[in-house]
C-alpha cells in the first residue's frame, strides 16, 4: 500500500504477518494505515511483526494505533511485536510512552522473528 506519507510493505512468514512501514505515521494517514493493517490480519495469523525501522515520524495518533492494535491482537490471542533499531527516530518515542509494555520491542527483524517462533 502506498500513501502520501507512508509506504507499507507486507509479507507472510509461517503464519506471521510482517509489515514494514517507511515514512511518517500521523493523524493524516493513521486511519488508512490502521485499516490496511487490520485488513491484512486473518484469524489464522499467529502474529504481526510491525517493522518501524524505516518510520521517520510517529505522532500521538500513531502511538494510539499501536496501543489499539496490541489490545485487539491480544483479544484474538495473536502476538504483536515491534521492530525499531536503537538509532531509529521513533524508538525513543515508543520507549517513553510505554508501548513496549503492551507490544515487545526488538532492535532487528531477525530478533523479532526468532521470538515469534518460540512458544508463547
Say if 65 falls within a structural domain.
Answer: yes
What's the pLDDT tens digit per position in 34-91?
A: 999 999 998 888 999 999 999 999 999 999 999 999 999 999 999 999 999 888 889 9
Say if 1 falls within a structural domain.
Answer: no
**CATH number of the structural domain spanning residue 43:** 3.30.750.24
Alpha-carbon gap, residue 4 to 23, rounded angstroms = 9
The model's pTM is 0.90
The predicted pLDDT at position 88 comes to 87
Total tally of structural domains belonging to the chain: 1
Alpha-carbon gap, residue 91 to 3, rounded angstroms = 22
Residue 2, pLDDT > 50, answer: no
Say if 96 falls within a structural domain.
Answer: yes
Say if 78 falls within a structural domain.
Answer: yes
Residue 3, pLDDT > 80, answer: no
Could you list the residue range(s) of the whole structural domain that residue 47 is in? 6-117
Name the region of 45 (left: φ>0; alpha: ψ -120 to 50; beta: rest): beta
What's the pLDDT tens digit per position in 8-27?
A: 999 999 889 999 999 999 99
Say if 14 falls within a structural domain.
Answer: yes
Chain-centroid distance of CA 57 in Å reads 14
Say if 29 falls within a structural domain.
Answer: yes
Say if 21 falls within a structural domain.
Answer: yes
Say if 70 falls within a structural domain.
Answer: yes
Read off the pLDDT band of 7 (50, 70, 90). very high
Amino acid at each position: 500500500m502506498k500513501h502520501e506519507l507512508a509506504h507499507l510493505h507486507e509479507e507472510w512468514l509461517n503464519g506471521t504477518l510482517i509489515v514494514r512501514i517507511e515514512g511518517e505515521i500521523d493523524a493524516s494517514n493513521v486511519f488508512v494505515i490502521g485499516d490496511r493493517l487490520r485488513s491484512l490480519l486473518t484469524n489464522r495469523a499467529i502474529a504481526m511483526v510491525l517493522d518501524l525501522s524505516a518510520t521517520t515520524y510517529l505522532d500521538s495518533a500513531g502511538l494510539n494505533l499501536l496501543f489499539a492494535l496490541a489490545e485487539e491482537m491480544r483479544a484474538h490471542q495473536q502476538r504483536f511485536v515491534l521492530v525499531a533499531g536503537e538509532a531509529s527516530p521513533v524508538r525513543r518515542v515508543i520507549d517513553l510512552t510505554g508501548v513496549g509494555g503492551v507490544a515487545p520491542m526488538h532492535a532487528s527483524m531477525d530478533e523479532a522473528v526468532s521470538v515469534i517462533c518460540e512458544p508463547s
